[in-house]
Structure 1
Amino acid sequence: MKAIEDIKFIHTLGPINTNCEQAAYKWLEENKIEGEVFLHNTLEDALLEVKKNDFAALLGCVVYPDLHKIVFSNLNDLSLVDCFIMPTYNMILATNDDTKDLGNSIIATHPAPSGLAYDFTVSKNIKLVNSNSQAALQCSKGLSDACITTLPAAQKYSLKVIKDFGEVPMGFTIHY
């Protein structure tokens, strides 16, 4: 029978500076487990790696768009073994220049926090990407005018903060 203390690897949403990455390291630390965190483009990609290793677990976020599909499609392989609440990084609206009026600008965002973008642009101009960090990368490359992202991701790509929404109390799940 699998036990939480047997977990050595956490697979979750990347790239670096995602709330999931932060949560994975926190969970390992709080459970006094010396383990490694692996980051993936999607939780669906992460799940494929978890299934290959008896010591690997999946860390999900309760607002991840298809977490319910991951859970119910894998009842024979994974069980929900833990759930915890942790504040996210500060969630922000950022641009790659000093633009303050976004009007018809394209805003890159992960689907989960996309509701934060609606007050700043029309819904047809919201570009969905795989993670908050990916949104920041898209913005830094000029593939969007702005993004909803985490403060560390915005700092990594030297983006300008337009609005700071603060930390958001968030639920994270461990599937093993």
Structure 2
Amino acid sequence: MNLPDWRLRLRRLHTLGPAGTNLEAAARDYAERSGPDVDVVLHASIEDAMVDPVVDGTQAIVACAVYPELHTLVFSNLHRLRMVDSFLMPTHNMVLAARGAGQPRTVATHPAPAQLVADRDRTLVTSNAQAAIDCANGLVDGCVTTIVAAERHRLRVVTDFGPVPMIFTVHLLSAP
């Protein structure tokens, strides 16, 4: 496999956490295909990954084409962020999950998949995995999350929406 020079220098990928997000899965897949010395760092938001990054061409951010405000992040950081790659990968199955029996009335969701539960009282959170944590902690009745996060937090799957074919983007942190 012939990788471009920038990818051979890649050592760290930053993306959205906590554990169980689709972005974590995408970043880990990309890291594995980039070489044995590439690690993945999870952040509370993609924006948080931009705080104090090393801008030396060895680190990148993995985002998602449907990430809210991705355009703002890109155009606000043209001086240190360069989109260098993208790839198509299915997400984990997206699910509506709940703590207890019955249909959840209040649902935590990241803004991107919020339309999956447009008919419910929604609370927006920073990631699909955070939605599962908030549900497990009793802050809401249910959540839109990944099957991975639902299982990790022992939530009951109410509706399985299946995987979603998704475009993930790679943004190199480097000076122009």
1:120-148, Cα deviation, whole Å (9 max, x unpaired): x2xxx210000000000000011001100
Secondary structure of 1:143's aligned partner = coil
After TM superposition, list the pairs within 5 Å mapping 1:73-84 onto structure 2.
73-84=76-87
After TM superposition, list the pairs within 5 Å mapping 1:4-83 onto structure 2.
4-51=7-54, 54-83=57-86
Shift of residue 47, structure 1, vs aligned partner: 1.6
Asked if residue 170 in structure 1 is aligned to residue 166 in structure 2, the reply is yes
Whichever residue aligns with residue 136 of structure 2, its letter is: S
1:144-173, Cα deviation, whole Å (9 max, x unpaired): 011000001000110000000000000100
**TM-score w.r.t. structure 2 length?**
0.91
The worse-fitting range, judged by mean Cα deviation, of 48-57 and 144-153 is 48-57
Structure 1 residue ranges, 4+ long, deviating more than 6 angstroms after superposition:
none
Shift of residue 30, structure 1, vs aligned partner: 2.1
Shift of residue 34, structure 1, vs aligned partner: 2.4
The worse-fitting range, judged by mean Cα deviation, of 110-119 and 131-140 is 110-119
Secondary structure of 1:137's aligned partner = helix
> In structure 2, how many angstroms separate the alpha carbons of the residues matched to 1:54 and 1:80?
12
Asked if residue 152 in structure 1 is aligned to residue 153 in structure 2, the reply is no
**Percent identity for Structure 1 against Structure 2:** 45
> In structure 1, how many angstroms separate the alpha carbons of the residues matched to 2:35 and 2:10?
11
**TM-score w.r.t. structure 1 length?**
0.91
Distance 1:41 1:171, change over 3 A: same
> In structure 2, how many angstroms separate the alpha carbons of the residues matched to 1:154 and 1:72?
34
Instruction: Answer yes or no: is the 8 Å Cα contact 1:61–1:172 preserved in 2.
Output: yes
Shift of residue 78, structure 1, vs aligned partner: 1.2
Instruction: Answer yes or no: is the 8 Å Cα contact 1:4–1:81 preserved in 2.
Output: no
Where does residue 114 of structure 2 map in the other structure?
A: 114
1:98-125, Cα deviation, whole Å (9 max, x unpaired): 123x4xx111000000010114x2xxx2
- List gaps (5 residues or longer) in structure 1: none
Whichever residue aligns with residue 155 of structure 2, its letter is: L
- List gaps (5 residues or longer) in structure 2: none
Instruction: Answer yes or no: is the 8 Å Cα contact 1:50–1:58 preserved in 2.
Output: no
After TM superposition, list the pairs within 5 Å mapping 1:82-93 onto structure 2.
82-93=85-96
